[in-house]
Amino acid sequence: MISFELSLQSLSRFQLSALCGVLSAFWCAQGAFAYDVQKYQSLLESAREHLRMMEVDSTIKDLSAAIKLNPNDPHTYQLRSEAYKELNLLPEALKDMSRAIELAPGEATYWRDRGWLYFKDAQYKLAVSDYSKALAIDPHDGNAYRSRARSYACLHDWKNAAADYRKCLQFKTKSILRSEIETRWALGDVCLKDNKFDEALVEFNYLIRHYPHVSKGYYGRADVYKRQGKGDLAKKDLEKAHELDYEMDPALRKL
């Protein structure tokens, strides 16, 4: 202790001031990272339970309290962003996802989630940018390709939209296979809008061949035939599509 006191006495006023600043910053940092972990985890569990019960306001309240305890966990911001999204509070949801990205820029999911929010907010160029960053981190995310394709389509960029839909279909994950009908129909639709009738027919014929009891393929092919001036073929496909719809929901016949 005596040695330490003598050392302090030998320091200049400027050096003492600098040392005090360093020590102050150190103790502030220690305080910033010191929080009640048990209470924090309890708030997160409570928030998840409220969200499961669709009690979104209570979810946000718990997550806000958790963030106040520990403002450095990106996952908590993501959870609160999800809650804000449920209330269609897009500015608040975007702000939280942006904070999550600041804290963990290498997490592809955060970029993809913010891309979806930008898409929902009709900011399609920003959505494309975020999906591209997500894919740069995880190039095997088929869902991100599909989401970016939708954004390109909203920008009338048919070429890139078609390329991304095709890329999405290369990934045979369960979520991709469950939505194959929608994805192939969307691919056919962007090809049609780009006046690539043969490519559109490939997708709609695929749907008719592999999903013969689903009307989407027939509706899509009818649109191609209309554009090609093949009215009789278009009419035949529309009749088949309507018949399939009636089989799925007989009440439609009364409309």
Lowest-confidence pick of 30-34, 95-99, 159-163: 30-34
Average pLDDT over residues 249-255: 55
CATH class of the domain comprising 106-177: mainly alpha
- Is pLDDT above 70 for 253? no
How many helices and strands in the chain, by DSSP H and E? 15, 0
Note the pLDDT of residue 251.
58
From CA 149, how far away is CA 147, in angstroms rounded?
5
The phi, psi pair for 236, rounded to 5°, reads -65, -45
Would 106-177 and 179-255 be classified into the same CATH topology?
yes
Give the tens place of pLDDT for each residue, 209-221: 999 999 999 999 9
Note the pLDDT of residue 15.
45
CATH number of 179-255: 1.25.40.10
The yes/no answer on whether domain 38-105 falls in CATH 1.10.10.60 is no
- Is pLDDT above 50 for 8? no
| Six-digit token string for 129 | 């940018």
Give the tens place of pLDDT for each residue, 101-148: 999 999 999 999 999 999 999 999 999 999 999 999 999 999 999 999
Res. 41 pLDDT band, cuts 50 70 90: very high
Q: What DSSP string describes 164-204?
A: HHHHHHT---HHHHHTHHHHHHHHHHHHHHTT-HHHHHHHH
- Is pLDDT above 80 for 26? no
Map tokens 């192939």 to a residue: 184
Average pLDDT over residues 2-27: 41
| Six-digit token string for 142 | 């088929």
Q: Which residue has the higher pLDDT, 25 or 49?
A: 49
pTM of the model: 0.81
**So where are the chain's domains?**
38-105, 106-177, 179-255
Number of neighbours of residue 229 by Cβ within 10 angstroms? 8
Q: Are 216 and 181 in contact (CB under 8 A)?
A: yes
Lowest-confidence pick of 159-163, 185-189, 210-214: 210-214
Closest by alpha carbon to 74, among 101, 56, 47? 101
Q: What DSSP string describes 81-118?
A: HHHHHHTT-HHHHHHHHHHHHHH-TT-HHHHHHHHHHH
Note the pLDDT of residue 21.
45
From CA 168, how far away is CA 164, in angstroms rounded?
6
